[in-house]
């Protein structure tokens, strides 16, 4: 019995020594594998919204369009007036006979627009740029015609009746017509000597200065013969 107990004690000692001789090994560190990530992709960019381009009308474009449309529609003269246009084209009603011309008439770098009869020197309407605005300078009529002489002077033939008419002369600068002088024929005042020199356009007999008929007729004949041709482009060739 004692031997059995002794062996048991010896066995327990041996087991205890074996346990003490074993060193605790540190646990292997846990390795965490990186999680698979989605490849970075750029967010889709929205295509820029196309803004419609509004093309500005060329110089005098709206005025030209208005005359062209009025001619195509066969407007009467009163309808031209309602639209703020010169009524003379309404008497012709023909896109091949009414035309336009763009020309710098005072050499200031800005173009003027002329409306008139194709093949004729008469100006129905004239527009210029003044204070950055398209402005009507001439608005002629049947008894109130305009031409340009070869020396650049504007000749206005104004008539009140068969017995009273005038040649008024103007220069053009700064977007305006400037009255120069003129001749008036007034047979109602003096049928024998009906011609007078004037310095205004009022047909005011108190301002008349008598001029010999021969001299007046020589001057007016020269003005009539020296009217400068204007290269009016017919509206039949106009592209709006």
69 touches 80 (CB < 8 A): no
Q: How confident is the model at residue 7 (pLDDT cuts 50, 70, 90)?
A: very low
- Given a cut of 90, is residue 237 above it in pLDDT? yes
Query: Tens digit of pLDDT for each residue in 185-205?
Result: 999 999 999 999 999 999 999
* Maximum Cα interatomic distance, the chain, rounded to a whole number of Å: 183
Task: Enter the pTM of the model.
Answer: 0.75
Lowest mean pLDDT among 13-27, 88-102, 164-178, 203-217: 13-27
Query: Tens digit of pLDDT for each residue in 44-78?
Result: 566 555 655 545 678 999 999 999 999 999 999 99
Domain ranges in the chain are 61-237
In the Cβ-directed half-sphere of 102, how many Cα atoms lie within 13 Å? 11
Nearest partner of 175 among 119, 113, 127, judged by Cα: 127
């Amino acid at each position: 019995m004692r031997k059995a107990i002794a062996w048991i004690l010896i066995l327990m000692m041996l087991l205890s020594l074996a346990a003490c001789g074993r060193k605790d090994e540190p646990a292997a560190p846990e390795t965490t594998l990186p999680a698979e990530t989605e490849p970075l992709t750029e967010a889709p960019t929205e295509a820029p919204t196309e803004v419609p381009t509004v093309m500005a009308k060329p110089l005098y474009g709206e005025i030209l369009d208005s005359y062209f449309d009025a001619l195509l529609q066969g407007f009467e003269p009163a309808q031209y007036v309602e639209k703020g246009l010169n009524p003379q084209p309404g008497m012709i009603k023909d896109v091949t006979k009414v035309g336009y011309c763009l020309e710098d008439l005072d050499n200031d770098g800005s173009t003027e627009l002329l409306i008139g009869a194709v093949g004729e020197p008469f100006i129905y309407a004239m527009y210029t740029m003044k204070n950055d605005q398209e402005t009507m300078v001439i608005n002629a009529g049947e008894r109130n015609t305009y031409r340009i002489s070869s020396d650049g002077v504007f000749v206005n033939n104004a008539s009140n009746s068969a017995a009273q008419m005038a040649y008024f002369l103007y220069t053009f600068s700064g977007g305006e017509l400037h009255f120069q002088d003129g001749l008036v024929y007034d047979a109602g005042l003096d049928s024998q000597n009906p011609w007078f020199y004037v310095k205004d356009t009022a047909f005011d007999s108190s301002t008349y200065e008598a001029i010999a008929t021969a001299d007046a007729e020589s001057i007016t004949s020269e003005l009539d013969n020296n009217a400068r041709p204007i290269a009016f482009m017919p509206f039949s060739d106009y592209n709006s």
